[in-house]
Amino acid sequence: MKTRAAVLWDREQDWKILDIDLDPPEDHEILVKWAAAGLCHSDQHLRTNDIGTPTDPAVGPDPRLFPLVGGHEGAGVVEAVGPGVVDLEPGDHVAASFFPICGRCKMCITGHTNLCDLGAETFSPGQISDGTIRYRHEGRPLNVMSKLGTFAEYGVVHEASLVKVDPEVPLAAVALVSCGVTTGWGSAVYRAEVEPGDTVVVVGVGGVGMNAVQGAHLAGARHVVAVDPVEFKQKSALEFGATHTAGSMEEALPLVIDLTRGQLADAVILVPSVMYGELMGPALALTGKNGTCVVTGVAPQAQTACRVNLFELAMWQKEVRGVVFGAANPRFDIPNLLALYRAGRLKLDELITRTYRLEEINQGYRDMLDGVNIRGVVVFD
């Protein structure tokens, strides 16, 4: 079949809207009609060489990466299922899971499905099922972002990458929970282990960081300090549970000292647009005794250096934790977060600053980089 898709042909290029060919689903695969796709920064990282590149810059990018159908944050409706699919059927509403869930590897069976071994092939071409190609443009094979490709009207996706959701929830809201909301919320609730009465600093309050603010607030934090250089995002954070704001970590430090009577933050969650090593020092300076610094933001793969006070790290018993997908279990947390949304406890509609047609995707990413959106969403007719 034919479908329209946003395709990235190489680094530092605009997305091109093309009519592409899509093969039918094979074993354990599903044809999805995408309804909404979030404009997440991870796709932008592919454009700028931050991810999908070997640690050694001299090696250069993997030549198999491009051309690529973008999008990994999305929601849609099942159109058809291939052989072997038993848990989904046509008409079901689904959320994308940007890390697949095999349910059999060590990480899955020990409760860490966000680290499923299938995720190692996130940027490799070919389907999860058999490694072959379903997407083509004029006969040329196309890679697919996170095995999902939500920047297309239709996609063929392995059942391991989809989560069934309540059909009464608007699909634009479902799309957000498929990546950004779960990542931010879980960074606070699961990885930072925020408890009632804690002081939490969230650095970077875009589409992911804003949900770290929501997570910390829902977990009962007494103080939630949202740090961002963009005034619009600072003001927005107050509506999502922040109690205080600052334009930088340096500006936040005296504020946190005053709020905690010198004890500093119980948790600092780093969600900048791009994570650089130079941010670790100020973040740990904000972290108090026995506190936790969670690194959520994506760093360039070649980024290997940072400067921290190692004496203070040990003597104050601080902890640095990495996190992916909010340390969440997508098959539990995606429906659970949507239930919180339906109960009025979690803000999702308010995260969507603007919606775009697929043809406007480049404008959507410009708006993201200009700091005028919390989250932009592509909606399909």
- The answer as to whether 330 is a domain residue is no
How do strand 223-227 and strand 199-203 relate by DSSP bridges? parallel
SS3 of residue 50 by DSSP? coil
Same domain, 370 and 252: no
312 and 192 share one domain: yes
Q: 198 and 172 share a domain?
A: no
Task: Tally the domains of the chain.
Answer: 2
Q: Are residues 167 and 56 in the same domain?
A: yes
Instruction: Check if the beta carbon of residue 176 is closer than 8 Å to that of residue 184.
Output: no
In-domain check, residue 28: yes
For residues 245 and 367, state if they share a domain.
Answer: no
pLDDT of residue 55: 44
Residue 62's pLDDT is: 61
Residue 329 lies in a domain: no
Helices 209-218 and 231-239 pack at an angle, to 10 degrees, of 30
pTM equals 0.95
Instruction: Clarify whether residues 189 and 239 are in a common domain.
Output: yes
pLDDT confidence of residue 58: 55
The whole-number mean pLDDT for each consecutive block of 10 residues of the chain, a chain of 381 residues, reads 96 95 98 97 85 56 82 98 97 96 95 93 90 96 96 98 98 97 98 98 98 98 98 98 98 98 98 96 98 96 91 97 97 98 98 98 96 97 77
Which range marks the domain in which residue 59 is found?
A: 2-178+348-379
Are 133 and 190 found together in one domain?
A: no
pLDDT at 301: 85
Kindly provide the residue ranges of all beta strands, DSSP E only, lying in the chain, ordered along the sequence: 2-8, 16-22, 29-38, 68-69, 74-81, 93-96, 135-137, 140-141, 143-144, 154-158, 162-165, 199-203, 223-227, 244-246, 265-270, 287-295, 319-322, 352-356, 375-379
C-beta of residue 126 within 8 angstroms of C-beta of residue 134: no
CATH code, domain with 199? 3.40.50.720
Which of 101, 110, 351 shows the shortest CA–CA distance to 207? 351
